[in-house]
Chains A and B, each alone.
Chain A
Amino acid sequence: MLEQLQIKNLTKRFGTVIANDRVTFDVRRGEIHCLFGENGAGKSTLAECIYGTYRSESGTICFNGELVEFNSPRDAIQLGIGMIHQHFVLVPPLTVLENIIVGTEDAKVLLNTQKAENKFKELCARYELKLNGHAAIWDLSVGEQQWVEILKALYLDVKFLILDEPTAVLTPEESDKLFRILNVMKRQGISIVLITHKLKEVMQSDRVTVMRKGKIINTVDTKSTTREQLTHMMISSELAVQGLKKKINSESTVVQIKKLDVRGPRGGYAVKDLNLTLNSHEIVGIAGVAGNGQKELFETLVGIQSPESGEVWLDTEDITHWSPAEILAAGVGHIPQDRYREGLIGQLSIVDNLLLGMHRSPRFAQRGFLDQERVRAFVQEQVDQFEIVAPSIDTVVGNLSGGNAQKVVLARELFQASVVLLANQPTRGLDISIADYVHRQLLEKRKEGYAILLASEELDELIKLSDRIVVMFKGQIAGEFVADNPDLEQIGLLMAGGNL
């Protein structure tokens, strides 16, 4: 029996969204099997179904030739299945050893530290890891924390290990080391499922399964495929929606970004030496997997972050170090990536949310007092125009549906913006009709002469809307394309960190 795991026709829905659509997938004993695809392709959902976090609606899972049904990860762990999540599941103040034995038999009533320490040392030796078992997690580097996660799984004697984008936080050297560890595990007979969207990692595996929009596209032997073929499978080929936008000759430069460097939350550069120009009557699309500096770029442009070096010009003014209020007043609107965290005030009403940012403008406030009548009339007008469905304009925004909440952000930002619109994943999580509404609004603003910067993880969306597409990878612009007839495979290759 070659297959350790066999999945047949597995379907998993979230509400009306189908995350996994009749997925059939198998993993052989002792192989490294990559799950490759764009964000939102359903890779993590599939993994969580295998691990028992989610229960599928239909379909079967066979492990070691037997039909299994997991009610929780506990069941999966008992059969020797382990998973390393995208975000660390460690207790920072505890030591490495304590983190490794927490939840195991050795930490039930009395800590069996001697046994744990011996096994820990043996594992470190076998996998050539240098770790101090008595160091607290918060004293470790990010890479070392990843080794602890792996040791946690190995300590439980896993036979089958799933890793969900384990290299996202690692340096290139650490990634190489990770693959050395994985190869040792493979020789011990452990099967490995590696979720990734980086081509470099895919090429080091034995087999690859490509997913797109919840479906399995194909499973191939890595040796018999090429990067180009894989990219082609990853991005959808049928891009029918075109012709919505008519070519408009953009005449003037509105925004100029010169040699921008921005530090990220972990201290490294999130944006590095970035140059970009936005013209009027133009939508510039940023393609790229989220987390490649898009958030930091947008936050710098609206004045929330201040760049380490470089300049941002709006027309003839240097706005590099302007405050958010000043940039807003200059006519720059912003649709943030996370609407509930950065765009809306969930506990306040539609009225209060539409007012945000204009509460000091002479139109709505005189001598510090708000003109309630004017505010309410304005809000009613916007709610009607954008067809926001709500019991009343005093409804708390947190009670609205996702689409209507996004319409509140859209209404506000389109009203406040007069020159530039920055939209970071404006349709994420929205259903097709609302997403289409957002698209039409953006194109309308383009016609009116706005310069629009649009970041999205969906290539279809970018191609449908943009005049130019730039690819962002690790804080830099990896390439620029004219959106009329772009080379999708090249874009996909650049998004995954490849070279042309």
Chain B
Amino acid sequence: MNWAKIRLERRDEVTWAWRLFCFLVAILGTLLVTGVLISTAGKEPIEAFKELFIGAFFGIDSIVETLVRATPLILTGLAAVVAFRAKIWSIGQEGQLVLGAIAAYWASIVFEGLPRIIVLSGVICLGFVGGALLGVFCGWLKARYRVDEIISTVMFNYAIFYLLTYLLSGPWQPPGDFYVQSAPVIEKALLPNLLQDTRLHGGLFIAIVVAIIVYILIKRTALGYEIRAFGSNPIASSFKGIKPTRMLVVVMLISGGIAGLAGTSELLGVHGRLNTDIAAGAGYTGIIVALIGGLTPLGTVIAAVLFGAMVNGGFMMQVVTGVPKSMVFAMQAITLLFFLCSTLMSQYRIKRVTEDV
């Protein structure tokens, strides 16, 4: 008797066409499922998607706003890329972002009297250092005491957030002020605008530069090679002289520093003062962005812009169609699920097997 069976089989080579196909299937799936969600809320899905798209990409202002929202996600996403490539599961981008912003704000106070170019480079450097310090500390905890990095980085997210609220309701709260926020950052520490009369700021420039640096780091440098090797097989790597302790510290330094830059960019490009909305979940969203981007710098930039567009277009969608903009967060989560599935799908083929029994 003939039995037709279906079996999954791993592909030897993944072609570009097939990968693109999987990618399109993921997008279609996302639209379908969110479409169902929107219609159960009693709204017209096609209409909602249209407004979302218009809100995200129609006109200079919309595009600029999408990019502004994408900027911190690019940086936190890249931070996750660096760590995850080494299979170090750092979830600490949120805390590193905040500590980076705190360090940058502190630098803006200290460097107040210096020329603008020095102040600007000083705050950016300190922003990097702030995030890097926290990253290194978690890496060192793992290297020295085998503290799981997932636990330590998540815990520090909370600790650093409380440090922020302490600073903003105490030492850095302007006298007589009622709000939990700092005084504005001095003018010369603010990032320059990239496009006149818009909110597009230098943070985007920093993010693109960092993306290029991360690309070169992973593809072309000996350190990037070590990150890939260590991430794929730490035992074989250590046999050939790649020290696990050094990798933990160096990778967490770079990853934390990049997340710190996200905080710096938000502080000096968007908010202009320290407040408790400085991170707004960008650290966690960055992880999703990195995973959707397939842990590559280019993919991460694209995914970050996509997510920025969803948040930005969500406002228009709410105003015009009445679909709540929180629907966007459901959309982001669904996007992640479909992309993870499509990544897996792209590596397999479905085969029909006929067996004679």
A contact residues vs B (CB 8 Å cutoff):
302, 304, 323-326, 328-329, 334, 336, 341-348, 352, 355-357, 359-360, 365, 368-370, 372, 399
Contacts and interface: CB of A to CB of B under 8 A. Distances in A.
Contact of A370 (B221, B239, B240, B243): B221
B221 A342 contact: no
Nearest to B234: A345
Contact of A348 (B232, B240, B242): B232
Given A360-B222, A368-B222, A370-B220, A345 B237 contact: yes
B237 A359 contact: no
Contact of A341 (B226, B228, B236, B240): B236
A302 B239 contact: yes
B222 A369 contact: yes
Interface in B223-248: 223, 225-226, 228-229, 232-233, 235-243
Contacts of B9: none
Interface of B is mostly: helix
A325 B237 CA distance: 10
Given A324-B238, A325-B241, A368 B223 contact: yes
Interface residues on B, range: 20 to 34
Interface string B198-235: 00000000000000000000001111011011001101
B188 to A, nearest CB: 34
B12 interface: yes
A365 B235 CA distance: 23
27 contacts: A302-B239, A323-B243, A324-B238, A324-B240, A325-B242, A328-B240, A334-B239, A341-B233, A341-B236, A342-B239, A343-B239, A344-B233, A345-B232, A345-B233, A345-B237, A346-B233, A347-B232, A347-B233, A348-B228, A352-B225, A352-B228, A355-B225, A356-B240, A368-B222, A370-B220, A370-B225, A399-B12
Which of A304, A325, A344, A345 has the most CB atoms of chain B within a 10 A radius of its CB? A345
Nearest to A327: B241
Given A324-B238, A357-B240, A359-B225, 17 more contacts: A302-B239, A326-B241, A341-B235, A341-B236, A344-B236, A345-B229, A345-B233, A346-B232, A347-B233, A352-B228, A355-B225, A356-B237, A365-B222, A369-B221, A369-B222, A370-B222, A399-B12
Contacts of A342: 235-236, 239
Contacts of A304: 238-239
Which of B221, B239, B240 has the most CB atoms of chain A within a 10 A radius of its CB? B240
A453 to B, nearest CB: 16
A370 B227 CA distance: 14
B227 to A, nearest CB: 11
B220 A372 contact: yes
Contacts of B228: 348, 352
A368 B236 contact: no
Contact of A324 (B220, B221, B232, B239): B239
Nearest to B229: A345
A356 B238 CA distance: 10
B224 to A, nearest CB: 8
A302 B239 CA distance: 7
A372 B221 CA distance: 10
Nearest to B10: A399
B220 A369 contact: yes
